[in-house]
Amino acid sequence: MNVYFDNAATTPLDKGVLSKMLPYMEEGFGNPSSIHKKGREIKAAIEKSRSKIADLLSCEPGEIFFTSGGTEADNMFMINTVVEKKINTIITTKLEHHAVLHCCEYLKNRYNTQIKFVKTDDLGEVDFDDLDNVLRENQNSLVSLMHGNNEIGNINDIEKISNICAQYGVIFHSDTVQTMGHYKLNLNEINIHGVVGSAHKFHGPKGIGFLYLNNNHKISPFIHGGSQERNMRGGTENVYGIIGLSEAMSVAVSDMNNHSKKILSIKKHMIEKLKEKVNGIKFNGLSNVLDKSLYTILNVSIPNIEDQQMFLFNLDINNIAASAGSACTSGSDTGSHVLKEIKTFDKHAAIRFSFSKYNTIDEVNYVVDKIVEISNI
């Protein structure tokens, strides 16, 4: 059996999405900036995709800007906002994705921007009283707090955060890469200035994403050299990527109820089997609390395993793909910055399993049996 339980890193491309992309790889090769028929047809397809995404998020098409992915979108929003709005302070947590934290480091080093970290507890929950206190003392601020944590799966209440930010009149951005296409977002009802999406997290192609930029929040282009994306991002558009993104988003939203129920049942079954068969199993963050974590992520600490990488290697040779955390930091010797900030367990290997609509209960049973076998439990 081959099991892919690393869907938080990337997801398999939906075959229906691929079929929508193929015509734009073959016949639909026109440059959307060209004024002839070939170019106009492609430009129309891009704008149709933009409108489709806007409809799914209850926002305006003019608020959607295509990027190479979530990381670029986070950088585009944060860097240009801080520089142009002369923001003094970024308020965030130490549990954010590096797309946000490394932006903070860059802005601190380049522009002397202050970075204030909101307190989080041993399970990774944000201390809202501390957020309120930090905002009271730093009102010329940008708040950046993720919607769903990519390692431990904790869900932040971005509606509550947006209301707190609105109370102080500060700018609010959220890295929504792990929730986009998995949870419904009505941007018309949330007081938020920027969110991001990345197609390959919801069965779309790699190398394409978008930034939602609220109409009331204006920034300058991030990439220069052309008038594409209404003068906001120079460079010829990734046409078939955009087509794939909009189709993947449409499929994800239309089938969300069925897919979420199926994936949640898989996660729930894995929690139960691990408790039953692995003595001393621990769960990191809130990943085992079903109503407070992403239904796609389960982060576990397996007892009596000190060599995490060897354990992952043993899973791999048994045809099981999982991870120790963010794929963006794989190969690094620094370990997970998220797990360092929360309560973890000595002599336990922390492993992230993440699920998709293509996984099955049988795969869970196989993985748990292999964990027991490898661990000699």
SS (H, E, C) 106-164: HHHHHHCCEEEECCECCCCCECHHHHHHHHHHCCCEEEECCCECCCCCEECCHHHHHHH
Residue 12 carries which DSSP code? P
| Phi–psi pair at 340, nearest 5 degrees | -70, -25
Closest by CA to 69, choosing from 207, 248, 243, is 207
Q: Which pair of structure tokens corresponds to residue 228?
A: 């594409």
Measured between alpha carbons, how far is 222 from 234 in angstroms, rounded to an integer?
A: 8
Measured between alpha carbons, how far is 132 from 168 in angstroms, rounded to an integer?
A: 9
SS3 209: strand
Place of tokens 């869907």: 7
131 with 101: CB under 8 angstroms?
no
Closest by CA to 77, choosing from 198, 245, 195, 233, is 195
355 with 259: CB under 8 angstroms?
no
**What sign does the dihedral 360-362-368-373 (CA atoms) show?**
negative
| Phi–psi pair at 321, nearest 5 degrees | -100, 120
Measured between alpha carbons, how far is 47 from 64 in angstroms, rounded to an integer?
A: 10
Among this protein's residues, is 328 annotated catalytic? yes
Of 103, 104, 165, 328, which is the active-site residue? 328
Enumerate long-range contacts of 121-125, CB under 8 Å, 24 or more apart: 121/342, 122/342, 122/343, 123/154, 123/285, 123/286, 123/342, 123/343, 124/95, 124/149, 124/152, 124/154, 124/285, 124/286, 124/338, 124/341, 124/342, 125/154, 125/286
118 with 145: CB under 8 angstroms?
yes
Active site residues: 328
